[in-house]
């Protein structure tokens, strides 16, 4: 249900307020351009600076506007287990297909703490849960053994792996089997990630290049030699974009790219700031190379 190219949706702002109209347009832009799934209120959606009401609002808008055309896995994680339960049960009530739940940041829980955090959320909801493992932002790294324990629970179905460690894909397949969903959170390693047993990506670049990203994902999973060649060609086109999107803190670069494509403004919330002039030139060049502008 949640494979291929899934976009980690940006949250557009106007005068520092949620821009509902533009957000709705973005959702329909992805429906029309081949994106396989929607992920609102994640890191790229600036969830740390969304109010609780805004967080629930962007998920609800996404579910309502997608109208079942694309699956919605809502970002509902928190370093507070109680808050994560609240956000996840809200997403379930309004019809989200599942939840993407980040490992608790700042608290630095042990592996047992991680297990109990996800188990508490699992026990309070009835929708599929994807673990979001991103030690670069949350400090802690969930082990494959802890994931294996969690996979025994009724709602845990997979992981968004943003460790950047491709060997982790092989280790996870060996320990948990091929049915455990693995999605990369690193756009730049998506080709090799899929070759090792991954099923797709939750992508930042898909915000600005949805068709390129979805075509690339489709071709990587093919056994046809011509399709694999197409995947390799698209990977070459996309790599400069992937690099440009992370030259400064995400989502500032991708919002600037989206502005150049007339998708949304490049406003971000403090403590994030707009990208520098030097980064703007790198982003423009990547868009030109990909023939997006």
C-alpha span between 171 and 165 (Å, rounded):
10
Phi-psi sector, 234: left (phi>0), alpha (psi -120 to 50), beta: alpha
Separation of alpha carbons 117 and 109, rounded Å: 9
Report the C-alpha gap between 155 and 118 in whole angstroms: 10
Tally of residues, the chain: 293
Active site residue 160: yes
| Residue of 132, 151, 219, 256 marked catalytic | 132
Catalytic residue among 115, 151, 160, 218: 160
d(Cα 94, Cα 51) in Å, to the nearest integer?
Answer: 18
Neighbours of 293 (CB within 10 A): 12
Residue 161 near residue 184 (C-beta atoms within 8 A): yes
| Sequence-ordered list of residues with C-beta below 8 angstroms from that of 182, at least 6 positions apart, any chain | 158, 159, 161, 169, 172, 173, 193, 197, 198, 199
The Cβ-side half-sphere exposure at 23, using a 13 Å CA radius, reads 27
Contact 249, 43 (CB under 8 A): no
The answer to whether the peptide bond before residue 248 is cis (omega within 30 degrees of 0) is: no
Task: Tell me how far the alpha carbon of residue 36 is from its chain's centroid.
Answer: 12
Residues 6+ apart with CB under 8 A from 121: 81, 84, 85, 88, 99, 101, 129
| 219 labelled catalytic | no
Q: Are 151 and 124 in contact (CB under 8 A)?
A: no
The SS3 call for residue 178 is: coil
Kindly list the catalytic residues.
132, 160
């Amino acid at each position: 249900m949640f494979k291929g190219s899934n976009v980690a949706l940006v949250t557009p702002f106007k005068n520092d307020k949620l821009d509902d109209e533009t957000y709705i347009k973005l959702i329909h832009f992805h429906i029309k351009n081949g994106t396989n799934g929607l992920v609102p209120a994640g890191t790229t959606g600036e969830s740390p600076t969304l109010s609780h009401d805004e967080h629930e609002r962007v998920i609800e808008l996404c579910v309502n506007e997608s109208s079942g055309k694309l699956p919605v896995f809502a970002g509902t994680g928190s370093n507070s287990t109680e808050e994560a339960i609240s956000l996840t049960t809200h997403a379930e009530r309004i019809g989200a297909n599942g939840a993407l739940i980040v490992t608790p940041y700042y608290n630095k829980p042990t592996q047992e703490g991680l297990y109990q955090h996800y188990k508490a959320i699992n026990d309070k909801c009835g929708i599929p849960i994807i673990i979001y493992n991103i030690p670069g932002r949350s400090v802690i790294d969930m082990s494959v053994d802890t994931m294996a324990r969690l996979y025994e629970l009724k709602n845990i179905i997979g992981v968004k792996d943003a460790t950047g460690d491709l060997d982790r894909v092989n280790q996870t397949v060996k320990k948990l089997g091929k049915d455990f969903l693995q999605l990369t959170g690193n756009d730049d390693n998506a080709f090799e990630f899929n070759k090792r047993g991954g099923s797709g990506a939750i992508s930042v670049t898909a915000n600005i290049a949805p068709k390129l990203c979805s075509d690339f994902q489709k071709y990587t999973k093919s056994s046809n030699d011509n399709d694999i060649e197409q995947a390799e060609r698209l990977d070459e086109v996309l790599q400069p974009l992937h690099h440009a999107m992370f030259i400064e803190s995400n989502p500032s670069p991708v919002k600037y790219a989206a502005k150049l494509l007339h998708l949304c403004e490049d406003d971000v919330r403090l403590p994030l700031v707009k990208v520098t002039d030097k980064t703007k030139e790198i982003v423009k060049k990547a868009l030109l190379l990909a023939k997006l502008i």
